[in-house]
Amino acid sequence: QKEVEQNSGPLSVPEGAIASLNCTYSDRGSQSFFWYRQYSGKSPELIMSIYSNGDKEDGRFTAQLNKASQYVSLLIRDSQPSDSATYLCAAASGGSYIPTFGRGTSLIVHP
Amino acid sequence: SAVISQKPSRDICQRGTSLTIQCQVDSQVTMMFWYRQQPGQSLTLIATANQGSEATYESGFVIDKFPISRPNLTFSTLTVSNMSPEDSSIYLCSVEWAENSGNTIYFGEGSWLTVV
């Protein structure tokens, strides 16, 4: 059974700090990885996708992928209170783009 | 990315009744999916809505409980039948969207159902 594991948190960081969110996945055939942000009462919003080993940066967000360790992370630099949300990690296998989702990590950025 | 609209956005339903959720996409898409997110839980795939044929259901979900229609490449409906309080959940329509780097799943705004 394909699984994506995340620490449920909450992860609490001060404003301006780097928030580090981690995720592991069980299916070695996974080839596509996603981070979604979900505010309370809202639907998930895609913030990053990553498909190859290494880092991918987009503004304040950096996704890191290590397929050998089956590990994906999301770094949020200069964290803002508006970043407070649940972050969902997802992984999809090659040939099927239907991702399996983790349960999400709650991030709280306090002023 | 595609713009995905769902309605109703929120509803309170009586036990034993059924409710149909509509999903409209502003572009033609091949793959449409329905997810459920129960309180405090992650997203669970209910089914893939196939255009012109029966939906493909995931383990634990059946057509009698969650009938799905997909009459064309921009529209789908999910019905939650004979509802019980356990069906209180967020129901999310999603589409697969091809981008330069790869295919990605985008979600509609969701339909928040409370069964009383």
Check if the beta carbon of residue A47 is closer than 8 Å to that of residue B104.
Answer: no
Determine what percent of chain A is predicted with pLDDT higher than 90.
85
Position B2 scores a pLDDT of 84
* A46/B104 Cβ within 8 A: yes
Q: With H, G, I as helix, E, B as strand and everything else as coil, classify residue B30.
A: coil
Min Cα distance A51 → chain B (Å) is 8
Position A94 scores a pLDDT of 66
Kindly report, residue by residue over B78-111, the tens digit of the pLDDT.
Answer: 999 999 999 999 999 999 888 777 788 899 999 9
Position B1 scores a pLDDT of 75
Nearest-by-CA chain B residue for A56 = B101
Return the residue in B58, B105, B109, B114 with the most chain A beta carbons within 10 A, the one to mutate for interface testing. Answer: B105
Residue A89 has pLDDT above 90, yes or no: yes
Phi, psi (deg, nearest 5) at residue B16:
90, -10
Look-up of token digits 């997203």: B43
What is the end-to-end Cα distance of chain B in Å, rounded?
36
Kindly report, residue by residue over A32-84, the tens digit of the pLDDT.
Answer: 999 999 999 899 999 999 999 999 999 999 999 999 999 999 999 999 999 99
Residues of chain B with pLDDT under 50: none
- Mean pLDDT for A89-106 is 86
- Mean pLDDT for A7-27 is 95
Alpha-carbon distance A66 to A99, whole Å?
Answer: 18
* B105/A46 Cβ within 8 A: yes
Determine what percent of chain A is predicted with pLDDT higher than 70.
96
Residue A11 has pLDDT above 70, yes or no: yes
Alpha-carbon distance B82 to B18, whole Å?
Answer: 5
Residues 49-68 of A with CB under 8 A from B: 49, 51
Alpha-carbon distance A80 to A56, whole Å?
Answer: 20
Encoded tokens for A41: 């009462």
Position A109 scores a pLDDT of 97
Check if the beta carbon of residue A5 is closer than 8 Å to that of residue A24.
Answer: yes
Phi, psi (deg, nearest 5) at residue A83:
-80, -10
Min Cα distance B18 → chain A (Å) is 23
Position B36 scores a pLDDT of 96
Strands of B26-102, DSSP E: 32-37, 43-49, 56-57, 68-72, 75-80, 89-98
Residues in A touching B58 (Cβ below 8 Å): none
Check if the beta carbon of residue A19 is closer than 8 Å to that of residue A82.
Answer: no
Q: Position B93: which residue type? A: C
